[in-house]
């Protein structure tokens, strides 16, 4: 696994699956053109860019460049890295026909091509600073955010506390928390949320 500091922004879930086997970092999807109307996701991406920088890795077709331009234009340039995949013609294994332009997307790229794209973007081999104490799945369970009858309600309050989107998946929650919060900040959030729950 390759560690990079920046969060990676991709178009869809298959791109995310492909990169998850290669990169150890937070990977977010735009869900294609849905990003244009998703204000919560836009705000989250801006916060990530401010906190650790983002790497935009979209397909090299017209749609990919449109999404790239939209995101790149809304974030200060010093917080954005761009990785470009080469034009390789073909189709992904899961698809019956090639894309409209006939090019492979991020999900279909050979590993070597993806690594070269990251190298050219200047994001590889950076020191990744990790907190002394990471927030873990065991913490989320012990603190009532998973596996309990009222966990959903508790998780909603945790997302609200850190101003994170309510639709953030449970899988993305942990990495996102470790991006935005130190362990002590998380413990303070737990304390305040539990007190609020007791008063309700």
When pLDDT is averaged across residues 163-167 and rounded to a whole number, the result is: 76
104 shares its domain with 148: no
Nearest one of 110, 9, 20, 123 to 69, comparing CA atoms? 9
Nearest one of 180, 187, 176 to 26, comparing CA atoms? 176
What's the whole-model pTM score? 0.73
Higher-confidence residue of 190 and 89: namely 190
130 occurs within a structural domain: no
126 occurs within a structural domain: no
The neighbouring-strand residues paired with 89 are 103
Chain-centre distance of CA 75, in angstroms?
A: 16
83 shares its domain with 151: no
112 shares its domain with 152: no
Contacts of 49 (CB under 8 A, 6+ apart): 7, 75, 76, 79, 80
When pLDDT is averaged across residues 133-146 and rounded to a whole number, the result is: 90
The neighbouring-strand residues paired with 27 are 8
156 shares its domain with 83: no
pLDDT at residue 131 greater than cutoff 70: no
Question: In terms of C-beta distances under 8 Å and separation of at least 24 residues, what long-range contacts does 174-178 make, across chains too?
Answer: 174/135, 174/136, 174/137, 174/140, 175/25, 175/26, 176/26, 176/44, 177/135, 178/130, 178/131, 178/134, 178/135
pLDDT at residue 119 greater than cutoff 80: yes
Collapsing DSSP to helix, strand or coil, 16 comes out as helix
| Full domain range(s) for residue 14 | 2-121
Residue ending a domain, choose from 121, 147, 171: 121
108 shares its domain with 147: no
State the alpha helices, DSSP H only, in the chain. Answer: 13-20, 39-52, 62-72, 111-121, 137-142, 151-161, 170-180, 183-199
When pLDDT is averaged across residues 162-179 and rounded to a whole number, the result is: 78
127 occurs within a structural domain: no
pLDDT band of 125, cuts 50, 70, 90: low
158 shares its domain with 116: no
* The token pair that represents 153 in the structure block: 């309600």
The string of pLDDT tens digits covering residues 2-47 is: 888 899 999 999 999 999 989 989 999 999 999 999 999 999 999 9
14 shares its domain with 105: yes
- pLDDT at position 98: 72
Residue ending a domain, choose from 90, 121, 152: 121
* The token pair that represents 159 in the structure block: 């997302």
Task: State how many domains the chain has.
Answer: 2
CA gap 103, 179 in Å, rounded: 34
20 shares its domain with 111: yes
104 shares its domain with 16: yes
- pLDDT at position 167: 72
């Amino acid at each position: 696994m390759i560690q990079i500091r920046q969060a990676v922004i991709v178009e869809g879930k298959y791109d995310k699956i492909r990169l998850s086997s290669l990169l150890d970092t937070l990977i977010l999807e735009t869900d294609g053109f849905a990003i244009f109307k998703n204000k919560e996701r836009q705000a989250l991406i801006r916060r990530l860019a401010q906190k650790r920088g983002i790497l935009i890795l979209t397909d090299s077709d017209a749609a990919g460049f449109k999404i790239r331009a939209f995101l790149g234009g809304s974030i200060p340039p010093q917080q954005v890295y761009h990785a470009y995949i080469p034009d390789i013609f073909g189709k992904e294994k899961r698809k019956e026909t090639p894309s409209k332009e006939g090019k492979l997307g991020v999900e279909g790229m050979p590993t070597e091509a993806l690594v070269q794209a990251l190298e050219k973007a200047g994001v590889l081999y950076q020191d990744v600073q990790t907190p002394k104490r990471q927030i873990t799945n065991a913490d989320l369970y012990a603190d009532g955010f998973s596996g309990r009858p009222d966990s959903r309600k508790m998780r909603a309050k945790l997302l609200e506390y850190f101003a994170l989107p309510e639709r953030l998946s449970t899988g993305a929650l942990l990495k996102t928390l470790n991006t935005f919060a130190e362990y002590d900040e998380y413990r303070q959030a737990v304390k305040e949320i539990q007190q609020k729950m007791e008063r309700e």
